[in-house]
Amino acid sequence: MAIPKEIIIGVTGGISAYKACDVVRQLAKKGYAVTVLMTPEAGHFVGELTFRTLSGRPVVQDMFRQPMGWDPCHIGLADKADAIAIVPATARCIAGLAHAACDDVISCVISATKAPVIICPAMNDAMYGHPGVQENIKRLASFGYRLVGPVEGDLACGRRGTGHLADVADIVAAIEQAVT
């Protein structure tokens, strides 16, 4: 039996974090080994227990947790990843990745990986259109990161515009394409 591909899903603190649950569920159902990384802000929207249940694996929120052996958490995860996707990627996350801030477990893992990285932005349309966010997105694209979305849709603020998280099916397809 083949070893399943290792997919890391980073979840940041945006309202569309609940859709990451479906991404994790679908990937796990397809036989991928899925590890979820969460920022502290993500926990305001979706709980660790939900992701642990859907993935069948521990959730990583703290890169300074005690390792099981000598394997610094972020380096071990970066090395074993076949692909990493950020669902959703907030403006803060995008800025941190664009400038290698390495201030949370997600950005540290991504800065240390050679695996394909998929960024799935989701935020208010005005935030998404901000010149700084657009410049950061261009910078991420120049690193070879793949962007999926955002799309036009209803936003949490009550408006409609580009900033809505891409469809879960499109995100899952992009991840599968990255590991084939």
The full set of domains in the chain, from first to last, is: 6-178 (3.40.50.1950)
Task: Tell whether the model's pLDDT for residue 48 goes beyond 60.
Answer: yes
Q: What are the C-alpha distances in Å from 140 to residues 6, 76, 98, 137, 143? A: 22, 23, 6, 5, 5
DSSP secondary-structure letter at 43? G
Task: Tell whether the model's pLDDT for residue 128 goes beyond 80.
Answer: yes
Structure tokens that stand for 173 in this block: 């397809």
Phi/psi at 91 (5° precision): -60, -40
Q: pLDDT tens for residues 140-164?
A: 999 999 999 999 988 888 889 899 9
Question: What is the pLDDT averaged over residues 35-51?
Answer: 93
Q: Are the CB atoms for 131 and 169 separated by under 8 Å?
A: no
Global pTM reads: 0.91
Task: Tell whether the model's pLDDT for residue 70 goes beyond 50.
Answer: no
Give me the active site residues, please. 157
In this structure, are strands 160-164 and 151-154 parallel, antiparallel, or unpaired?
antiparallel
Q: Specify the DSSP element, H or E, that contains 127.
A: helix 125-129
pLDDT band at residue 108, thresholds of 50, 70 and 90? confident
The number of C-alpha atoms within 13 Å of 179 and in the hemisphere containing its C-beta is 23
pLDDT band at residue 65, thresholds of 50, 70 and 90? low
pLDDT confidence of residue 180: 87
